[in-house]
Amino acid sequence: MSAAVKCFQSNESISLEKIAEEAGVTRRTLHRYFENRQNLMESCKNEMLESCNKAMNEAYESDDDQIKKLRNMLFAAIEQGAKYSFIKRFYENSSFSDLESKNEFESDNVKTRWLKIIKNLQNEKRINHELTINWIFNLFGSIIETTIYAVESGDVAKNDSKKFAWISFKGAIGLKE
């Protein structure tokens, strides 16, 4: 799986033969585990979801402060999204929320935890109360996508990307730190 992720990151249309070569196995061996390209990509997607859920939960647990939790969850989502951005392109999903709407981010209550932070911050009047939670959730996904695209296209240095993402997100939701 790690060989497939590495190969797909650099070239989504890479041959299964090249993936097998990167993994140090024959194409025949690769086909014992994955019937076809679609099956391999589905396995990559499942690995991505598991990895993303784990990273988001670790980010949630990283601090007691709600704002720091939210920031850390954004950063975790950016890191995971950058690693697995080829999956979105392959499936042509329109946003982070597409996967959410299919309940693929329910593992370990990632979405529930994220929503709890947003609700708490709105109740504390630290986030613009006129914005709906769904709007903020979609905005969160858009910030992730924009960050990944800006880094991949070379428009923004990777070192600056998370800082810019956080400034953009907190500004867009009117977050008072």
From 107, 114, 116, select the one nearest 53 (Cα to Cα): 107
CB 87 within 8 A of CB 66: no
Single-letter residue type at 27 = R
DSSP 117-171: HHHHHHHTT-S-TTS-HHHHHHHHHHHHHHHHHHHHTTSS-HHHHHHHHHHHHHH
Residues 66, 166: Cα–Cα separation, whole Å? 14
CB 83 within 8 A of CB 44: no
From 44, 47, 54, select the one nearest 16 (Cα to Cα): 44
What ranges do the domains of the chain cover?
1-34, 48-172
What the block records as the tokens of 113 is 């935890």
Domain pair 1-34 / 48-172, same fold:
no
Give the CATH architecture of domain 1-34.
Answer: Orthogonal Bundle (1.10)
Give the pTM. Answer: 0.77
Single-letter residue type at 90 = F
Phi, psi of 102 (to 5 degrees): -90, 10
| Per-residue pLDDT tens over the stretch 7-46 | 887 787 888 999 999 999 999 999 899 988 888 988 888 8
Task: Provide the pLDDT for residue 100.
Answer: 45
- Of residues 126 and 98, which shows the higher confidence score? 126
State mean pLDDT over 161-168: 97
Which pLDDT band holds residue 91 (cuts at 50, 70, 90)?
A: low
Residues 56, 36: Cα–Cα separation, whole Å? 30
| Per-residue pLDDT tens over the stretch 122-147 | 999 999 999 999 899 989 989 998 99
* CATH topology assigned to domain 48-172: Tetracycline Repressor; domain 2 (1.10.357)
**DSSP letter (8 states) at residue 1:** -
Indicate the helix (H) or strand (E) that contains 99: helix 96-101
